[in-house]
Amino acid sequence: MKTKELGIGLLGFGTAGAGVVEGLQRNGALLAERLGVKLVLRKIADLDLDTDRGVTVERALLTRDAEAVVRDPNVDVVVELIGGTGMAKKFVLEALKLGKPVVTANKKLLAEYGTEIFSASAAAGAPIHFEASVGGGIPVIKALREGLVANHIKSIYGILNGTCNYILTRMEREKLPFDAVLKAAQAAGYAEAEPSLDIDGHDTAHKAIVLASLAYGSTVPLAAAHIEGIRGLAAEDITDALEMGYRIKLLGIVKRGASGVSVRVHPTLVPLQHMLAAVDGVFNAILIEGDLVGQTLYFGRGAGRQATASAVLSDLADVARDRAAGASHPLALPGQASAGLHAQATGAELVRCYLRLALLDKPGMLARVAQLLGAHQISIASVMQKESSIGNHVPVVIVTHEAPEQAFQQALAAIDQLDIVGAPTVRLRIEDFA
């Protein structure tokens, strides 16, 4: 049998794009053997054609004209690794309109314009693949869409941003403040010069939205997500949480409640014996619970040129198999399935919390706080008071039982008004994964 070919047009020759080219050069023969289809790079578009990417490509493959790449009849599939929502969106929609399958790693694009892009894909009968958009090389999109296709998804908890996890790991191990570790991470190339997308939780939210859309069959609007990053996190909270048996992780959390789907991103106390607590450094992990399968977890390198290439190439392999078959029948895309649910307003969901208060160092102070918590139906699970003090105040850590999110908001508003409280109370959420 003559080996078939799949012509690839690559948009974006940055780190991820160069990784795909390198991966193809290195393992293209293996892929051809496994697939019975040869993946052939036909064109690479980038505005910058001069920077050395550490891979050698024929000059004739390179062009600044992305539009021409999309339209090139020898290009069967378009790989979008430009990033962002400007040019990337334009070319993705153009490719789909031409009936060409698209492979992308662009979580921001999918989180912000998922409805438009998924309907363009459905209308044109051209599939869109996005394994590299979440969890780097971990095949979690495939696991969720295909492997767990028979399950109603109950919840998803993900460590989805390697930069944040790297910073949290170093803050804990080296007992350093956030700012110092961020600077070190930037110097080491693990954080961007403009780090907001990562550390303020937006990237995690984009990925959580992509997972939520797949799990529940309708795109969840980004505006409905609750997003907190790790910027304000104090080193002492990491230490105190550890003493109480928890490790702090930035989690993207997707849950289906009675009234809809909620998407939340915030620093979270994870019990030390839980597997997610063992995920350190730049690694990612995603815990998915289905009604049949129970809890499953997927772990691996969440970013990096080779891991991303592994995911992009697996998407190309799926496209290649469809093309070799001469037909495909894709799974329903978000926005099309009638099971679609609207995002739940935060407030009613039950949460457990870690509270760190700065209380005046006098007898009876804790009782006043406990009374106020009780008045909002929040009961206390454990308390830790340290000998250290800041001025006239001592830090007191309280771990609570479960109560509605809004009860905490109201109770803390009242507590922080008390004259015995010396600084705004720090509140972090605890997850027990029950």
Q: Minimum Å distance from CB 126 to a copy of itself? A: 14
* Among positions 9, 12, 17, 23, the unique one binding a copy of itself when judged by CB under 8 A: 23
Residue 36 makes contact with a copy of itself by CB under 8 A: yes
Query: Of 113 and 298, which CB lies nearer to a copy of itself in the complex structure?
Result: 298
* Among positions 298, 365, 376, 422, the unique one binding a copy of itself when judged by CB under 8 A: 298
Q: Which residues contact 263 (CB under 8 A, 6 or more apart)?
A: 205, 208, 209, 212, 220, 224, 225, 226, 252, 253, 254, 343
Site string for a copy of itself, 332-351 (x = CB under 8 A): x----xxx------------
Using CB atoms within 10 A of its CB, is residue 424 exposed (0-12), middle (13-18) or buried (19+)?
A: exposed
Residue 281 makes contact with a copy of itself by CB under 8 A: no
Window 148-167: residues binding a copy of itself (CB under 8 A):
148-152
- Cα–Cα dist 41/149, whole Å: 32
Q: Minimum Å distance from CB 314 to a copy of itself? A: 5
Residue 65 makes contact with a copy of itself by CB under 8 A: no
Query: Of 47 and 188, which CB lies nearer to a copy of itself in the complex structure?
Result: 188
Q: Which range of residues in 68-76, 154-162, 261-269, 288-296 is near a copy of itself by CB under 8 A?
A: 288-296
Residue 432 makes contact with a copy of itself by CB under 8 A: no
Query: Of 147 and 221, which CB lies nearer to a copy of itself in the complex structure?
Result: 147
Query: Of 291 and 432, which CB lies nearer to a copy of itself in the complex structure?
Result: 291
* Among positions 322, 349, 405, 431, the unique one binding a copy of itself when judged by CB under 8 A: 322
Residue 275 makes contact with a copy of itself by CB under 8 A: yes
Residue 324 makes contact with a copy of itself by CB under 8 A: yes
Residue 300 makes contact with a copy of itself by CB under 8 A: yes
Residue 321 makes contact with a copy of itself by CB under 8 A: yes
* Among positions 65, 174, 192, 291, the unique one binding a copy of itself when judged by CB under 8 A: 291
Residue 27 makes contact with a copy of itself by CB under 8 A: yes
**C-beta of residue 312 within 8 angstroms of C-beta of residue 103:** yes
Active site residue 207: yes
How many amino acids of this chain bind a copy of itself (CB under 8 A)? 66
Query: Of 127 and 252, which CB lies nearer to a copy of itself in the complex structure?
Result: 127
Residue 30 makes contact with a copy of itself by CB under 8 A: yes
- β-pairing verdict for 77-80 and 102-104: parallel
* Among positions 307, 343, 396, 403, the unique one binding a copy of itself when judged by CB under 8 A: 307
Query: Of 229 and 290, which CB lies nearer to a copy of itself in the complex structure?
Result: 290
Torsion angle defined by CA atoms of residues 159, 165, 169 and 172, in that order, rounded to the nearest 10 degrees: -90
Residue 309 makes contact with a copy of itself by CB under 8 A: yes
Q: Which member of 108, 207, 249, 255 is catalytic? A: 207
**C-beta of residue 133 within 8 angstroms of C-beta of residue 284:** no
Residue 62 makes contact with a copy of itself by CB under 8 A: no
Residue 197 CA, chain-centre distance (Å), reads 11
Site string for a copy of itself, 88-127 (x = CB under 8 A): ----------------------------------------
Contact residues toward a copy of itself (CB under 8 A) are 23, 26-27, 30-31, 33-37, 131, 136-139, 142-143, 146-152, 217, 273, 275, 278-279, 285, 290-301, 304, 306-307, 309-311, 313-314, 317-318, 321-322, 324-332, 337-339
Q: Which residues are annotated as catalytic?
A: 207
